[in-house]
Amino acid sequence: MESIIASCAKTPVYADIVSEHLSGRPFPLLEYNAISDMMDAMGEEVGLLEKPAMVLKTSGSTGRPKRLFYSQADIERSADAYHALLGQIGINPGMKLWEMSAWVPFISGPLSQAIANRFNTDPDSVLFCPIIDKEDIIKSFRKVSKAGRSFDVVSMPVLFYYILSQVIENPDFLKEIVSKSFNRPLPRPLISLLARIIGRGISPSSIEESIASTRYVISSAAPLDPYKDIINRLFPDAEIIDVWASTENPSMGVRPPGHEGFYLLIENIVPEILPVKEFEESLNNPHHQMITIPMDEWSPGDKGELVISRLGDCLPLLRYRTGDDIEVLKSFEDDPGMGPFMGRPVVRLLGRTAEKLNFFDPEQWGPYHGDEVHYADIEEVLSKVDSIRWWELYSTKELPRRLTLTIIPYKGNALNEKEIVTLLLNNINEATRVFHIAQALGEFDLILLPPESFEGVEKDIEKLVKERGASRVKPRRLFTMGNINEVEEHLHRKYSRQH
């Protein structure tokens, strides 16, 4: 931490904060907007420690898009942190790799290429497909079709696995892309012609053959759950490795196959947890000095927002609020068999702060205040029912307040409403308490939708692909709406039926 503070003292962005700290004042917790406003006021030439090799951005899906500044050495340090862990899992030099990642201004491409370079010195072993725009996605499938090789490792953001499944399994996928790209209907012969032109050089059978013996699938950039069945279908014999990298910090954590939590890459960060109760107190008292839990005091069950400090050649981060909510599963890995994973804390990623239902604000939640529920809490319960394909939770601000859970099963599966309600009420986690309250107040609705309703979810994914291109795509599960009428209108519009 001392080296991070010394580095921060060299830039005007943090100089006053460090000076006040040396006078005995604790460091404040900083959010992106505060850092960005200071950078805008003084200019990059003044605020940065050195000229960046790349300026990376977020998609802005949770609000204001973020810009972070990196040197190539920053990216290489992050790749070093991942290298040992992936090697421990079983990814060895010489394995054939297909890497498909969004390029600058997004983090996944530069980081993935740096990691791949550490495992493969032979360029023929790596098919690297950087995605800059939508056309590059089509080009990458042409490259794979032409490559004529089998891949031991496939790595891409989870959204691209969805697109890959459509290319292999849906013969009308390109026609659908063409028809949706125009604001007016096109004659079917013209749609077929354009689809053949776009699909020239793409062989679904060749792509399927090239991934038939894949041993490891690496995912990143979004929660796995909406795509897990797709990945398992495409790669039935592969092990899934989940990489947690953010634009604010390229090296966050790795979740090995069969593990529930992420092992934090503490080589490059000093992590803390901001407990929910501290954040709640700050809402009631703007002068409250929020107290975090340092990593060496973490205990299993601790929950809150992850706060990090890290070095950076261009701009370090000091007590930065990531917006990622975590739960500590293990404060210290002590299993000698885990090799380089030993000594690391293990955490469950609960989701973004913006992806939870927060019941602390009485202006919004009334009788529910005092409780909150995360996406991960509900998923933990509903994942026990194999027939559930998708769920969403809707809440309302106005009276009469309602908590509405919609569930879509897989085709050929029936859902038992009583069984699901019992499951929700009897499992012990944060979600259970909220459903108990809603049930007791008569404000809980469970809507079981038919399997074909999943088409509405797929349309949402396609819309996000079209709007955000190669950036992060996170289909929403948690919704806050004004009243029950808005919920009903939304469900009718999305699923084409009256509820």
Q: Model pTM?
A: 0.74
Kindly state whether residue 460 falls inside one of the protein's structural domains.
Answer: yes
Q: Are residues 127 and 174 in the same domain?
A: yes
Kindly state whether residue 65 falls inside one of the protein's structural domains.
Answer: no
Q: Are residues 333 and 440 in the same domain?
A: no
Kindly state whether residue 285 falls inside one of the protein's structural domains.
Answer: yes
Q: Are residues 82 and 101 in the same domain?
A: yes
Q: Are residues 309 and 167 in the same domain?
A: no
Kindly state whether residue 55 falls inside one of the protein's structural domains.
Answer: no
How far is CA 478 from each of CA 42, 339, 361, 488, rounded to the nearest angstrom? 38, 38, 17, 15
Q: Give residue 491's domain range.
A: 359-495
Contacts of 15 by beta carbon, 8 Å cutoff, 6+ apart: 8, 9
Instruction: Using the 3D structure, point to which of 326, 353, 380 is the last residue of a domain.
Output: 353
Q: Write the CATH number for 173.
A: 3.40.50
pLDDT score, position 366? 32
CB 203 within 8 A of CB 171: no
Number of domains in the chain: 3
Q: Are residues 338 and 310 in the same domain?
A: yes
Provide long-range contacts, Cβ within 8 A and 24+ apart, for 204-210. 204/167, 204/168, 204/171, 206/144, 206/145, 206/148, 207/141, 207/144, 207/145, 207/164, 207/167, 207/168, 208/168, 209/150, 210/98, 210/144, 210/147, 210/148, 210/149, 210/150, 210/151
Q: Are residues 175 and 269 in the same domain?
A: no
Q: Are residues 194 and 96 in the same domain?
A: yes
Q: Are residues 296 and 314 in the same domain?
A: yes
Give the β-pairing of 293-294 and 303-310: unpaired
Kindly state whether residue 112 falls inside one of the protein's structural domains.
Answer: yes
pLDDT score, position 440? 72
pLDDT score, position 180? 67
CB 112 within 8 A of CB 101: yes
Q: Are residues 385 and 310 in the same domain?
A: no
Kindly state whether residue 59 falls inside one of the protein's structural domains.
Answer: no
Q: Are residues 337 and 381 in the same domain?
A: no
Q: Are residues 365 and 491 in the same domain?
A: yes
pLDDT score, position 117? 85
Mean pLDDT, 10 residues at a time, over the chain (499 residues)? 90 89 83 85 90 80 70 92 88 89 81 84 82 85 93 88 90 80 78 88 95 92 69 93 86 89 92 87 80 95 93 93 91 90 91 55 36 71 84 80 88 84 77 74 87 85 58 67 88 72
Kindly state whether residue 251 falls inside one of the protein's structural domains.
Answer: no
Kindly state whether residue 428 falls inside one of the protein's structural domains.
Answer: yes
Q: Are residues 78 and 195 in the same domain?
A: yes
Instruction: Using the 3D structure, point to which of 219, 244, 269 is the last residue of a domain.
Output: 244
